[in-house]
Amino acid sequence: MSALPVTTAAMAATRDGYGNALIKLGSTDPNVVVLDAGVSDSTRTNKFAEKYPERFFNMGISEGDMVCTAAGMAKCGKTAFATSFICFLLGRSMDQILVSVAYSDSNVKIIGTHAGVAIGEDGPTAQAIGDVSYMRAVPNFIVICPADAVEAEKAIIAIAQRKGPAYVRLGRGNVRTIYDDSYKFEIGKASVVAEGNDAAIIASGIMVQESLAASEVLKKEEINVRVVNMSTIKPIDRQAIISAAETGTIITAEDHNIYGGLGSAVAEVISEEELGVKFGRIGVKDQFAESDSQKVLFRKYGMDADAIASAVRTLKN
């Protein structure tokens, strides 16, 4: 069985899955190198540093230098992972990412942690809500936002086996474990984690667990909702969206601005394929959040399970 029941699932952060994947990669591929911008405890790259110190490079608070160094290593045959908090990693090094990684088609994996308003108390300057939009628009990059630690680990291993640029978006807080070890991650393929034909919720990252909780609420009202984990946002799984459209209603759910991210990507497919469905977006509504707990912020900004369930009811009526 690939998906675990929501009520009995364990908890772990997607960044923990990243740390676990690096250990596995380090043991099998001597060309894997890891760079971090002085936050290795938080990004979980410290696990790799402890085991393979000769292949770990703490670049300090110098994200642009880190990205360029990673690109140089990649040109020398290394698989380079450049890691930091998203707000710093993208905010301070987009020029280097564009030129040294994307334009040069370098084998660099940009790994950003602490995504979205889910980081809570760190406040709006640290809550990365536009990163998917940035990276989706950069040529040569794939963009992945795993739903749990198991998927994060498998996604990191998958991008290591694929040459070229990749961006992976990871969270800080613990999320429910959705998958077990039998789960097969494939770049560009969505995963249905709850079946239903009355409506479809297409979600990414932490919003997959909120969507699963919403589906349980709706099931009690005899509304059976399909929940699709769209962990690869670029290239997006067009067929999964076409299949979801058979329900007549699609809602996207993401811990990101509703502009430019998963919602926009799904809307593009709906338009291009002329699917003719009812469509809505759950996410940050083009505003800065404040500093508070994830639970409080998700409720205040209409991103929790209750808000998702409400959106399904409204669209279907």
Catalytic amino acids?
A: 63
Give the Cβ contact number of residue 315 at 10 Å.
16
Measure the CA–CA gap between 250 and 80, rounded to whole angstroms: 37
Q: Which residue has the tokens 């979980």?
A: 44
Q: Which long-range contacts (CB under 8 A, 24 or more apart) does 24-29 make?
A: 24/153, 24/157, 25/79, 25/156, 25/157, 25/160, 26/51, 26/52, 26/55, 29/79, 29/160
Which residues are CB-contacts of 147 (< 8 A; sequence separation ≥ 6)? 14, 175, 178, 179, 193, 203, 204, 205, 206, 208, 209, 229, 231
Of 267, 16, 243, 57, residue with least CA distance to 146: 16
CA atoms within a 13 Å half-sphere pointing along the CA-CB vector of 94:
14
- Structural element, H or E, at residue 14: helix 14-28
The DSSP bridge pattern shows strands 32-36 and 108-113 to be unpaired
What 8-state DSSP symbol labels residue 3?
A: B
Local structure of 270: helix, strand or coil: helix
Measure the CA–CA gap between 22 and 219, rounded to whole angstroms: 39
Measure the CA–CA gap between 53 and 33, rounded to whole angstroms: 10
Q: Which two tokens stand for residue 94?
A: 């987009």
What 8-state DSSP symbol labels residue 100?
A: I
